[in-house]
C-alpha cells in the first residue's frame, strides 16, 4: 500500500486545509472549496483565507432530497475573479493546458491529484508503443499505436496524457457539455483526434464486449453516483464490480494496463485492491494506495484511492 502525491505542478498548490474546507491555488487564482475530510483546524486564520481567496464555493443550504442536490451550490466571487482561465501542466515532453471554470457542482475542470496517473500513463505508452515493440504486427492487428479507453472521463486529463504519448484514445462521458469542455482542452494542448463518446459508460462497455473490441489500456475514474444521458443510474457500490469484470474482457489478455481511481468517503484503499484481484487475479507489480496533497503546514489531505497495473510491457 502506497501514498502518492504529485511534485510536478507549478500551477497548482494546496495552501491550507481545515474546518472541512481547502484553500487552493490554480494559476494566479485562489479558491476555497468544501473538503469533508479536512476535519482538523485551519493553520491560517479565517481572515487570511478571506483576504487571499478570489472565490469561495458554498453549498446550497436546506433540505437535501438526493445526493445530486447535496452537491449543488454557488460561488461567492471577488470582482476580478473570471468565469474562465487556464493553467498548464508539464511532465517530460507532455505539455497540457487546462481551461478551468466555476461550476455549480464546485468542480473546476481538473483534479490535480490525478497528475500521478497522467505521468504513469504517459510513461507506459511512450515506452511501449505497438510500433516500437512489434515492428512487424500481424495482419489482423496492424495498429501503430496503443488503444486506450477512458471511462467516466470528465474533462479528460488522462485522455490528454494518453494522446500526448501517441495513443489512440476513446473518451467516454455521459455529459455532452463536459465532452465539449474536454475537446477545448485537447485543442488548447495542441492535440487532436481523440474519439469522443457521449454515452453511459456501462452501456458502452457492454456493447464493446459484444463487438469483440480490445484495448491496450483502460482508465476508470467513476463517481460515487451519476446519471447517464438517458437517465441511467450509476451508484458506485452497486456497479463497480460489474464494470471491472467487463474491463477484464476488454483488456488485451497479452499486454495491457489498467488504472482505477475512486473518491468515495469511507472507501479504504483495500477495496479497489480486493475488487481488481478478484477479477484479474494477483498481477505482479500491482500498485494500490491513496492520493494526497500536503498543505503548507504539512498536513496530508487524502484525495481518493487508486489501483494500477501493467502486464506484458517492457521497462
How many domains is the chain partitioned into structurally?
A: 1
Cell numbers linked to 242: 460489474
Query: Nearest CA to 158 among 197, 185, 129, 131?
Result: 185
Backbone angles phi, psi at 5, to 5 degrees: -140, 155
pLDDT of residue 138: 38
Distance CA 311, CA 295 (A): 35
Supply angle C-alpha 224, 229, 230, rounded to 5: 110
pLDDT tens track of the chain, all 315 residues?
Answer: 899 999 999 999 999 999 999 999 999 999 999 999 999 999 999 999 999 999 999 988 654 544 444 467 999 999 999 999 999 999 999 999 999 999 999 999 999 999 999 999 999 999 987 544 333 333 444 446 899 999 999 999 999 999 999 999 999 999 999 999 999 999 999 999 999 999 999 999 999 999 999 999 999 999 988 888 888 888 999 999 999 999 999 999 999 999 999 987 778 999 999 999 999 999 999 999 999 999 999 999 999 999 999 999 875
Residue of 263, 224, 251, 265 lying closest to 312 (CA atoms): 251
Dihedral, CA atoms, 9, 102, 289, 200, nearest 10 degrees? -130
Residues with Cβ within 8 Å of residue 284, at least 6 apart in sequence: 311
The pLDDT, as a whole number, for residue 131 is 42
The range of the structural domain enclosing residue 207 comes to: 2-311
pLDDT of residue 202: 95
Q: Look up the CATH number of the domain holding residue 113.
A: 3.40.50.150
Cα–Cα nearest to 306, from 253, 258, 239, 251: 258
Burial environment of residue 4 by CB neighbours within 10 A (0 to 12, 13 to 18, 19 or more): middle
Helices 236-250, 201-211: axis angle to 10 degrees equals 20
Region for 27 from its dihedrals, namely left if φ exceeds 0, alpha if ψ lies in -120 to 50, beta otherwise:
left
DSSP E strands in the chain: the ranges are 2-4, 12-18, 21-26, 29-34, 55-59, 73-77, 84-91, 94-101, 147-151, 168-173, 195-198, 217-220, 225-227, 233-235, 256-262, 287-294, 300-311
What is the pLDDT, as a whole number, of residue 315?
53
**Which of 275, 271, 229 lies closest to 248 in space, CA to CA?**
275
Amino acid at each position: 500500500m502506497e501514498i502518492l502525491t504529485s511534485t510536478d505542478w507549478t500551477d497548482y498548490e494546496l495552501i491550507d486545509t481545515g474546518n472541512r474546507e481547502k484553500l487552493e491555488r490554480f494559476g494566479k487564482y485562489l479558491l476555497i472549496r468544501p473538503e469533508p475530510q479536512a476535519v482538523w483546524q485551519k493553520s491560517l486564520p479565517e481572515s487570511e483565507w478571506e483576504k487571499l481567496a478570489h472565490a469561495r464555493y458554498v453549498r446550497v443550504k436546506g433540505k437535501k432530497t438526493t445526493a445530486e442536490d447535496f452537491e449543488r451550490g454557488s460561488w461567492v466571487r471577488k470582482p476580478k475573479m473570471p468565469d474562465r482561465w487556464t493553467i498548464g501542466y508539464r511532465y517530460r515532453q507532455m505539455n497540457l493546458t487546462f481551461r478551468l471554470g466555476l461550476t455549480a457542482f464546485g468542480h473546476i475542470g481538473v483534479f490535480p491529484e490525478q497528475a500521478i496517473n497522467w505521468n504513469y500513463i504517459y510513461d507506459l505508452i511512450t515506452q511501449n508503443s505497438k510500433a516500437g515493440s512489434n515492428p512487424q504486427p500481424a495482419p489482423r492487428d496492424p495498429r501503430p499505436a496503443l488503444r486506450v479507453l477512458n471511462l467516466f472521463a470528465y474533462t479528460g486529463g488522462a485522455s490528454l496524457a494518453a494522446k500526448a504519448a501517441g495513443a489512440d484514445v476513446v473518451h467516454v462521458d455521459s455529459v455532452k457539455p463536459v465532452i465539449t469542455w474536454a475537446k477545448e482542452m485537447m485543442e488548447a494542448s495542441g492535440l487532436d483526434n481523440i474519439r469522443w463518446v457521449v454515452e453511459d459508460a456501462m452501456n458502452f462497455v457492454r456493447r464493446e464486449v459484444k463487438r469483440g473490441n480490445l484495448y491496450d489500456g483502460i482508465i476508470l475514474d467513476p463517481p460515487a453516483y451519476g446519471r447517464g444521458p438517458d437517465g441511467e443510474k450509476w451508484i458506485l457500490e452497486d456497479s463497480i464490480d460489474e464494470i471491472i469484470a467487463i474491463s477484464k474482457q476488454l483488456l488485451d489478455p497479452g499486454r495491457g494496463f489498467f488504472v482505477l481511481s475512486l473518491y468515495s468517503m469511507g472507501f479504504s484503499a483495500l477495496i479497489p485492491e480486493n475488487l481488481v484481484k478478484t477479477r484479474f487475479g494477483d498481477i505482479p507489480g500491482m500498485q494500490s494506495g491513496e492520493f494526497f496533497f500536503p498543505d503548507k503546514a504539512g498536513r496530508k489531505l487524502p484525495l481518493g484511492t487508486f489501483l494500477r497495473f501493467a502486464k506484458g510491457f517492457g521497462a
